Structure 1
């Protein structure tokens, strides 16, 4: 059985006439007859008895009852496939590092999901190392991360630089210093993230190169928590500006004069692999545009809830 012959059968039943069915479907009457003959051959039973009035056989009645559900499912499938082709629906698996995941992404994907409500976005949050592994294992389609250690087998597209600054209690002597240099952090108690965090690696290599060593360190596993530990006077922290503007009460955020520009962040994907869906391509275009624009403040009270998003902290 094919869909065309079933549609023809149902149209004949609706009108009680081969001719009227031919008129609606814009077929010749011979085509209508051929469709019914083929359908009866496929089924192996007679479906219609002709006379002054068409009459359904038992097999015809059963087929007519089931045809509605079948055709509705077929139309739904056709519609879903068309939406997938056009990028109106689909699933996009995205891996994102902090602070981009919390501070930049909501303002970008909110309008995107309003425009494409049938697109489902799965967001996995982790550091660059973890996300790189997830990309290798095909758990995500794209990754937003810092520059990877190697470009072999991958394509990396830089989008923006995450600027870094020194956050400290406003009572700290460096808070009133005219200019702060990395050497000024020597022997200070620095709050740092885990040793796989690219922001920590950036800071430590810069300290070694420019005389800010030795120093004391306290490891805080979550970057978002650093500012609260600074606020509680546990030490100083070099943090992305985006996470500490405005600075928490009792703290000061200052530039470090000789700390080179922050970390380059961009889109990472495999050089070869699965063909990306239209929805994935549309979202990436949206991310490219949004992540290269100056950040706009987010009104958390007005932020929409996105039920199609899942996240995993690493």
Structure 2
């Protein structure tokens, strides 16, 4: 069945004649006749009795009663597809690494969703390794994360550097030093995240390169919790600056002179040329505008 033939049939019933339906639909009368013939042929039943006055057959009455629902569903589907094509609707599956997920993303998504209320966003929080796997498997459409270990499968667009600093209790001896170096962390109780966390990986690599090893460590799986364990005097932690600004009462945030740049963060996406919705591209444009060059 062609949706146009159904609309033609319903218009004939509404107006009571082929001629009026042709005028309403801006068709030639022969086109209207052809539509009804095709519809009856497709259904294998007669819908209309033609005479001085049109009348519906039993099949015609049944079809007429249900055709409006079909047309409404079609109109809804057509409108939904139009909105999708225009970037006004759809689902964006976004992967995000901390601390961006908690500290940067909400203020970006709020205005976007207010301007695009029919766009749905599902957020998956994880480290770069997990998000890269999800992107490869098609579970997410893009990710905001650190530089991946390999760029062969996906494209990575750097946006900003997440700055790092040392958070420690105000009474800690290192708080009095004019300049803190990685070697000063030797034998300190470091609070660290899990082994897959890129922040921990960067810190451990820097410690090995600059003589800050060995050290004692207490692993805490949630990065957001680190500052509270420092506040409770369980140890010291190298944290993204944005997560400890302002620093919790009783703690102080200090730079580490030889830690180098922070962690590069950017957009991880499928290779160029992969299909992507217009809504996704609109959100990418906001990320580029608002996150590029952001500092911790």
TM-score norm. by structure 1 comes to 0.90
SS, match of residue 288 in structure 2: helix
Alignment of 1:66-145 (within 5 A): 66-145=66-145
- 1:193-219 CA-to-partner distances (Å, cap 9, x unmatched) read 112211111111112222222221111
On the 8 A contact 1:6/1:67 being kept in 2, the answer is: yes
CA deviations on 1:128-170 (whole Å, 9 max, x unpaired) are 1111221222211212111111111221100000000110011
Partner of 1:174: 174
Cα RMSD of the aligned pairs, angstroms, is 1.7
- State how far apart, in whole Å, the 2-side matches of 1:58 and 1:193 are: 72
Mapping of 1:257-296 within 5 angstroms?
A: 257-271=257-271, 274-292=274-292, 294=294
Residue aligned with 2:196, SS: coil
CA distance in 1, matches of 2:139, 2:30: 53
Q: What displacement does 1:293 show?
A: 5.9
Match runs of 1:10-25 below 5 Å: 10-25=10-25
- Which consecutive aligned stretches of 4+ in structure 1 deviate over 4 angstroms post-superposition? 293-296
Please list, as runs of the form range in 1=range in 2, the aligned pairs for 1:1-314 lying within 5 A after superposition: 1-271=1-271, 274-292=274-292, 294=294
| Deviations 1:81-131, CA, capped at 9 Å, x for gaps | 111111111111111111111111111111111111111211111111111
Residue of structure 2 equivalent to 1:309 = none
Displacement, 1:241? Answer: 0.4
Aligned residues: 296
Structure 1 unaligned regions, length at least 5: 297-314
Distance in 2 (alpha carbons) for counterparts of 1:39 and 1:270: 45
Distance 1:180 1:117 in 2: 48
CA contact (8 A) 1:11 1:21 kept: yes
1:121 to 1:283, Cα distance in 2 relative to 1, 3 A: same
Q: Which moved more, 1:48-57 or 1:28-37?
A: 48-57
Deviation at 1:270, TM superposition (A): 2.7
SS in 1 for 2:160: strand
The DSSP-based 3-state class of the residue aligned with 2:108 is helix
Q: Distance in 2 between matches of 1:148 and 1:64?
A: 59
